[in-house]
């Protein structure tokens, strides 16, 4: 793994911070040359809390959560549920906020479920995912009283049925269907195409042939169907195509078995702006397209409208989050690239190294100035491919500057590691001029607390 090939012809874009548009958190502003978010000076915050530091604009996150809940309720006459996909970013406080705003919660592992339980999140509003949930995780979930478990295979169907029977329960389940929709996104984050590890494939009608097994299994109830076509999707027609596949599947189940599917979960995947040129659809547009598609398709097939669920993650928290770093080393490789080394990297943001993710960055202590230099922000780790931004525009950096990388609220903290013995960053929520630490920075003692 190495750095991407440098584009030596690339010119700095000359944008100031506030010209980055949708990339910015909702409350971002520049005052006296410094970047402020939530009314808090990011430069002062970096000096107080140390770097690397993850910061969330709480007002931004709350606004997006409310927009999802309200938009789907307004667009759809039957019940709607918005389940926050906790894999995007999870700690106790975001669970509390999601609960306060009436959201459900999508968990994909025992640890995520444990976090929800620790703050009293209502278990009946929890949906459990995963292509290989362990028997232990399944037992924990069923014993906790989770609302829905998304069944990913016939083997898992048997496990859930057996465990529920042992616990004296009847567990509501969804069948996860792989709809064969090729979403227009990175191949690593497509999940609805035919060549996927997730769900019941529709090839050779396998998924439909398994419905009878699901209906006949003891100790479970087929409450609904689920699909998820991928992540970071801009083309809304992909969601409409997925809805058509799922409504057709519901109609076939009714015709063949006389069984009415009463719930449909279309997953998440709405894209966000990582770079200034990105123009993602809005939450309202996403709600309109998906709800309209389901309503029209059900009317065509003479089906009762199912309760409709979606599972956003990235589009709730990515732009609300940013990461602050301190510049430690400057290097120029003549004719190749300008290197700026920061005190973080792939341990707190693996996405660029993993699949070439792009970000926008600014010098937070000169946020009012134009971005006049093209640099590669590299991390501090012992990997050649450890970088956060490759050939990106930024204000000419100096040693000790505070660099802000935007759009890091999703899949950074949750995918973080301790590579090279790096403690994971603290997480701070900012709102109305106040900053509060909601996840403390790891210590060296934390790193080795499990060693015997």
Which residues are identified as catalytic? 382
From CA 353, how far away is CA 378, in angstroms rounded?
11
The residues pairing with 389 across neighbouring beta strands, listed in sequence order, are: 377
**Bond from prior residue into 52 cis (ω within 30 degrees of 0):** yes
Closest CA to 328 of 352, 344, 348, 350: 344
Q: Which residue has the tokens 């689920």?
A: 226
Q: What SS3 state is found at 46?
A: helix
Instruction: Phi first, then psi: give them for residue 246, nearest 5 degrees.
Output: -70, -40
The residues pairing with 112 across neighbouring beta strands, listed in sequence order, are: none
Provide the 8-state DSSP code for 291: H
Task: Locate the DSSP E strands across 124-219.
Answer: 126-128, 148-151, 171-178, 200-201
From CA 27, how far away is CA 34, in angstroms rounded?
14
- Give yes or no for a contact between 403 and 377, defined as CB atoms under 8 angstroms apart: yes
Residue 440 tokens read as: 């403390």
From CA 428, how far away is CA 408, in angstroms rounded?
13
- Give yes or no for a contact between 383 and 1, defined as CB atoms under 8 angstroms apart: yes
Across 422-447, b (16+ Cβ under 10 Å) vs e yields: bbbbbbbbbbeeebeebbebbeeeee
For the chain, the helix, strand and coil percentages under 3-state DSSP, each to the nearest 5: 35, 25, 40
Q: Which residues contact 325 (CB under 8 A, 6 or more apart)?
A: 51, 52, 342, 343, 344, 377, 388, 402, 403, 404, 405
Q: Which residues contact 234 (CB under 8 A, 6 or more apart)?
A: 184, 185, 271, 278, 279, 280, 281
């Amino acid at each position: 793994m190495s750095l991407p090939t440098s584009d030596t012809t690339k010119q700095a874009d000359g944008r100031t911070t506030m010209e980055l548009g949708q990339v910015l958190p909702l409350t971002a502003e520049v005052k006296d040359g410094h970047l402020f978010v939530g009314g808090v000076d990011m430069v002062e915050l970096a000096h107080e809390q140390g770097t690397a530091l993850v910061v969330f604009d709480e007002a931004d996150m709350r606004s997006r959560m409310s927009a999802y809940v309200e938009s789907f309720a307004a667009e759809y006459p039957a019940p709607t549920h918005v389940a926050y996909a906790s894999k995007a970013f999870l700690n106790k406080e975001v669970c509390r906020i999601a609960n306060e705003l009436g959201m459900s919660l999508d968990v994909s592992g025992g640890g995520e479920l444990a976090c929800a339980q620790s703050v009293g999140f209502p278990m009946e509003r929890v949906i459990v995912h995963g292509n290989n949930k362990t028997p232990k995780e399944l037992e924990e979930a069923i014993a906790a009283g989770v609302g829905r478990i998304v069944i990913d295979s016939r083997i898992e169907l048997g496990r859930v049925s057996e465990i529920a029977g042992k616990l004296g329960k009847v567990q509501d389940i969804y069948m996860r269907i792989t709809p064969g929709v090729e979403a227009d996104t990175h191949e690593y984050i497509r999940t609805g195409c035919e060549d996927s590890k997730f769900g019941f494939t529709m090839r050779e009608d396998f998924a439909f042939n398994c419905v009878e097994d699901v209906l006949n299994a003891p100790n479970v109830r087929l409450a609904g169907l689920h699909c998820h076509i991928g992540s970071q999707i801009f083309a809304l027609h992909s969601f409409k195509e997925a809805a058509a596949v799922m409504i057709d599947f519901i109609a076939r189940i009714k015709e063949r078995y006389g069984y009415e599917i009463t719930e449909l979960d279309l997953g998440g995947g709405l894209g966000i702006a990582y770079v200034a040129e990105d123009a993602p659809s809005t939450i309202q547009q996403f709600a309109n397209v998906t709800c309209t598609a389901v309503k029209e398709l059900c009317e065509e097939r003479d089906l009762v409208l199912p309760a409709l669920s979606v599972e956003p993650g990235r589009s709730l928290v990515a732009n609300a989050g940013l990461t602050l770093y301190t510049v430690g080393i400057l290097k120029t490789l003549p004719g190749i690239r300008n290197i700026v080394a920061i005190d973080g990297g792939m341990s707190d943001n693996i996405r660029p190294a993993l699949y070439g993710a792009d970000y926008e960055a600014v010098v937070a202590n000169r946020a009012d100035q134009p971005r006049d230099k093209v640099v590669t922000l590299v991390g501090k780790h012992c990997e050649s491919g450890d970088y956060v931004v490759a050939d990106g525009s930024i204000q000419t950096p100096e040693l000790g500057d505070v660099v802000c990388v935007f759009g890091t609220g999703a899949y950074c903290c949750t995918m973080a590691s301790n590579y090279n013995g790096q403690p994971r960053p603290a997480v701070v929520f900012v709102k109305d001029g106040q900053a509060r630490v909601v996840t403390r920075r790891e210590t060296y003692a934390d790193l080795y607390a499990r060693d015997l």
